[in-house]
Amino acid sequence: MSIQRQTLREQIETEIMDRVGAGEFRMGENINEVALSVELGVSRTPLREALISLSQQGVIGRVSGKGFRWTPIGASDFTETVQIIAALEGLALHLTPASELVAIGRQLAEQARSFTASVSSAQDIHEHDDEFHATLISGSPNVRLAETLASYKLALRRYERLYVGNTDLMERAAAEHESIADALLAGDLPAAISALEDNWLNSVPRIINALKSRVPAG
């Protein structure tokens, strides 16, 4: 496990999410905490803390009297999560002071151009996308909103590997990012929010198609 600037619980969460995204666990089965702690090379206490955190985020399920289970990855789960994130990020833009929107638009435009010029791998795509959306909501004064968004976005990490092999993802994402930035630079908040919703919701059919090839729809 790679450990940098994270608590042990966070490191374990990251490792588990990476493995879930890679399809290493059998969804729907109960989690064997003893075996998993040995496999990850950590003690039971921080592992359980990580599992509790992931269950609170809806990434894994809790089974009464039996601990936790791997929650099946499904189309409906992904769709609903994306819809929530799109709405919350739109709310974050609404809450951002109007005086800050143009400056944020400039930052987003620079990031969109960098996205087109330098992205070369699936990991780069995710890192640039995370940076873009973090900048997008950076003007919102609502801390709880940012925390809620972070939780929902963590739940999406198990879908990241499904993007691999989508050769035109970078171009489409960059174009959608530029549309958001352009609207903010023009002072058109409704258009920016509409473009933001398109950016999130356009990913739904692509991921659902990938899910259908791997697991039953949820």
- What pLDDT digit, counting tens, does each position of 30-83 carry? 999 999 999 999 999 999 999 998 888 777 888 888 899 988 767 888 899 899
Q: Which two tokens stand for residue 182?
A: 């352009």
Q: What is the mean pLDDT of the chain?
A: 83
Name residue, tokens 């890192």: 127
Q: What are phi and psi of 67, to 5 degrees?
A: 90, -120
Percent of the chain with pLDDT over 70: 80
Structure tokens at 193: 């929010």
pTM of the model: 0.70
CA–CA dist 137, 141 (Å, integer): 9
Residue pLDDT, tens place only, 118-172 = 555 555 667 788 899 999 999 999 999 999 998 888 777 667 655 544 555 667 7
Check residue 3 and report its DSSP letter: -
The pLDDT-based confidence of 198 (bands split at 50, 70, 90) is very high
Structural domains in the chain, sorted by start: 8-70 (1.10.10.10), 75-212 (1.20.120.530)
16 vs 173: which has the higher pLDDT? 16
CA distance readout (Å), 149 to 21, 82, 140, 152: 19, 11, 12, 5
User: Residues 3-13: what's their mean pLDDT?
Assistant: 78
Helix 169-185 / helix 122-136 crossing angle, nearest 10 deg: 20
